[in-house]
Amino acid sequence: MSNSLLVGIDVSLKDNKVRILHPDGTSLAKFVVLNSVPGANTLSKKLHNSLKKQL
C-alpha cells in the first residue's frame, strides 16, 4: 500500500479543477473548488479523505 497521491490542479481566477490519482494512475477523484479560502479548505479535506482511503 502506498501513502502517496498524485494531484493535478488547473488554477484559474475563479476556480481550481482538481484530479487525484493513485500512483498506479487510477483516477480517485475529479472535482472543482472555488479559488478562495473556503475552496482551499474543501480541497484540503478532499485530499485528506482520499489519502485516508488509501491507508
SS3 state at 22? coil
pLDDT value at residue 45:
96
The residues, any chain, with a CB within 8 Å of residue 27's CB and separated by 6 or more, are 19, 20, 21
pTM: 0.85
pLDDT tens, position by position, 1-40: 567 899 999 999 999 999 999 999 999 999 999 999 999 9
Query: Where do the H-state alpha helices sit in 1-55?
Result: 37-54
Residue count of the chain: 55
